[in-house]
Amino acid sequence: MLGSLSLLAATPFAFRSFSPSPNNNRFLSSAINHQIAKQLATESGRGSQKLLRRHVFPVYRRVSYGSPISAVMTDDSSTVTTSEEDTQNIGILDIDSALRQFKDHFQYRIKKYVDQKNLFENYEGGLEEFAKGYLRFGFNREEDGIVYREWAPPAQEAQVVGDFNGWDGSNHKMEKNEFGVWSIKIPDSEGNPAIPHNSRVKFRFKHGDGVWVDRIPAWIKYATVDPTRFGAPYDGVHWDPPPSERYEFKYPRPPKPKAPRIYEAHVGMSSSEPRINSYREFADDVLPRIQANNYNTVQLMAVMEHSYYASFGYHVTNFFSVSSRSGTPEDLKYLIDKAHSLGLRVLMDVVHSHASNNVTDGLNGFDVGQSSQESYFHTGERGYHKLWDSRLFNYGNWEVLRFLLSNLRWWLEEFKFDGFRFDGVTSMLYHHHGINMPFTGDYNEYFSDATDVDAVVYLMLANSLINSILPDATVIAEDVSGMPGLGRPVSEGGIGVDYRLAMAIPDKWIDYLKNKNDEEWSMTDLSCSLTNRRYTEKCISYAESHDQSIVGDKTIAFFLMDKEMYSGMSCLTDASPTIDRGIALHKMIHFITMALGGEGYLNFMGNEFGHPEWIDFPREGNGWSYEKCRRQWTLVDTDHLRYKFMNAFDRAMNALDDKFSFLSSTKQIVSCTDEENKVIVFERGDLVFVFNFHSENTYDGYKVGCDLPGKYRVALDSDAWEFGGHGRVGHDVDHFTSPEGIPGVPETNFNNRPNSFKVLSPARTCVVYYKVDESVEETNGINVISVSETLEMDASKQKNAEESAILILPRLIMEIKKIHKKLMIVTQPVSMRNCKKMEQSRKVLKNQQLLC
């Protein structure tokens, strides 16, 4: 057995970055050389920490738009104020002393961040005002007319064309100012807007070769395509609905949870039918499912418009537009408001790491060979991602910063999103974009000439902006490299995200499922992989996401059960060994990932009930079929199929955290990794988790260590009948602790724990124990109920919950209701004997399906 492994102590191991993922090519940024970093850092080194704190959330004076500032950021220090007497302390270096050797790097990027904020304050009225670019650029109502502005420095002439002028721009020529911004004011016609709502528009310009081209406006708020024309390009749409057609939000944002339990969803593929689903259908049909499974956050993929559906939304063409495949901007607002009404927060999967390579309908169409200073993107190889076939932003450009920062504010304020999941952050952070880069955790890999400091500063500015607009926002970064400081506040010299995705965990599970038989599973390796994250930097753990579901790969359920899922999931027949093993390990893998892998948890749509097969978007290779680009909800809704058991356990996992808040607890101690018996024991908060991965052995009287003395009972049991288990663990058994060793001397304790108790641990099960509050018992004469029973009682209050949950005897329901009238909490857990009676009675109920 292995002694305690605790994340409470700031050991060198605890500061290590994530173990590298074998698939680093998915996470790739732009390339720049910062050879002068140390020189500049030396000049500005003193006072970095105090200077940084002063500029995190300042109050800015307002100035008018169009202030005289170059479109390219300069090194002019005349506008930058520094304080030589400020200290040299940088907070992140105090947390991790191993970073002190890179103090020059931190000072350099802090100076760039502060200098940039000073420039915003001097010329734009501050960061928050600067990020209101959507009120100036694109189409906006101003003084009895519509004003259209577009940044396009290389254009020689420009016009606005569309349905409103018969696509003839000769009467709507635009004027260019000294900063490359083209503008035109189109007066109202007889009191009505000259450009009607929901009509098509484009930006027409002539570049240096004398060629005229039409492009979708960069700041367009809606874009559509003619569905009757195959391969038709998208058109920009002027979206300005009258008040009667605008959606008005009715519900406030839910409060920020202690720990996010995230349901990752793709609206388009959320229908049970082979078609694209709508925002309103998702809101009405899928959101209630998410709420019923006790998630508190929804993460929406593919919201920003993307012309190629199979890109999963990651090749964005129109950054301020909602994906028109699923509806209008007002429809998306309805979805978000509906989520808020259900107590669900909504995060957006935002893609600022790259842009679609499309010319006719994407931002790339504004690149006509000009220099990087006059473009959204870098030029040459530096501006192109060779694995993603996409363009890379120039984060050092003034107008690029305006565009991207305003984009964040737009989604927060116009649509009431509650935060973001930044995609492809590894690509942003390094000039090599993570391509063929096997990150090992060596700090030199993170702080060198390979680091794109412009991108780092952009992310610092972005997080500063987000937190100033919405202090309760949740920001998650998809980073496989494990860059230190990514999850620390900007005020400490960090990048400022709240969580990073624990991306090595799903790769570990795939490796085990593909390459190891059950006897080869290492408890120590699994435990280390799940706990290997940086001290004080929070992570979102997940066993599988959309990445593990795409064509060419398999979900965990399909890895475990494969073709038997087509014939062996009926409860009307006995479960085969493959199905029995598959369901048991599916529950264990997801639960230990949740409980040990991070400070939040994520599940991709459908994986909660073991959705079979894979995701394959319509494409030429599959005959443009939607058959595998949907979610088969009928599988979990059909009462005689075993999918309901995995779904019920997923609901119970989330309910356990809802009740005991173990995800947000900083107390996480692994006390036992028993290789011989294939058992892992750990504490999270005051709960004790026992995982038995052995394929055959059941241990009666297995001794587990714990912190607090007292009486423990079962809080959650994967082997319970309602989760498709065998009901081998008694839920009404009291487990009393015994002291171990000398108090205060860990080496004399049992597995470094001062107390212990004994449990029954069946093969392929996980059981959680909670400490009984005996003062409540003495007062009320009754015990706290288990999570399983809480779910049974709540199920009677949820729409259609009886169809997907275990059947409960009417008499038992009446007894529970009587107890609820007397007490707000707690009834005695159903005993193992009663569970068996329920099972026997179930078989004779009329008009009910026989359960296995």
Cα 232 from Cα 361, distance rounded (Å): 10
Residue 802 annotated as catalytic: no
Question: Cβ-count burial of 843 within 10 angstroms (0-12 exposed, 13-18 middle, 19+ buried)?
Answer: exposed
Strand ordering across the sheet containing 355-356: 355-356, 390-391, 384-385
- Is 478 catalytic? The answer is yes
Residue 196 tokens, joined: 């009607």
* Helix extents (H) in 91-139: 91-95, 103-124, 127-130
Both tokens of 28, joined, read 């790739």
CA distance 441 to 481: 8
> What is the token pair recorded at 836?
């068996």
Contact 786, 726 (CB under 8 A): no
Alpha carbon 234 to its chain centroid, in Å, reads 29
Query: How far is it, in rounded angstroms, from Cα 573 to Cα 571?
Result: 5
Amino acid identity, residue 197?
H
Per the CB < 8 A criterion, the answer to whether 438 and 18 are in contact is no
Q: Which of 115, 423, 580, 719 is catalytic?
A: 423
What six digits make up the tokens of 419? Answer: 């935060």
What is the rounded CA–CA span in Å between residue 54 and residue 62? 19
What distance in Å separates the CA atoms of residue 149 and residue 154, rounded to the nearest whole number?
Answer: 15
**Annotated catalytic residue: which of 478, 479, 616, 722?**
478
φ, ψ dihedrals at 452, nearest 5°: -85, 95
Q: CA-to-CA distance for 462 and 408, rounded, in angstroms?
A: 8
CA distance 184 to 671: 69
Answer for the pair 316, 351: CB distance below 8 angstroms, yes or no. yes
Whether the CB-CB separation of 119 and 73 falls below 8 Å is answered with yes
H-run or E-run covering 701: strand 699-706
- Region at 512 (left for phi over 0; alpha for psi -120 to 50; beta for the rest): alpha
Q: Are 77 and 44 in contact (CB under 8 A)?
A: no
End-to-end CA distance of the chain: 37
Tokens representing 825 are: 């909490």
* Two tokens, residue 790: 């809480």
Q: Which residues are catalytic?
A: 423, 478
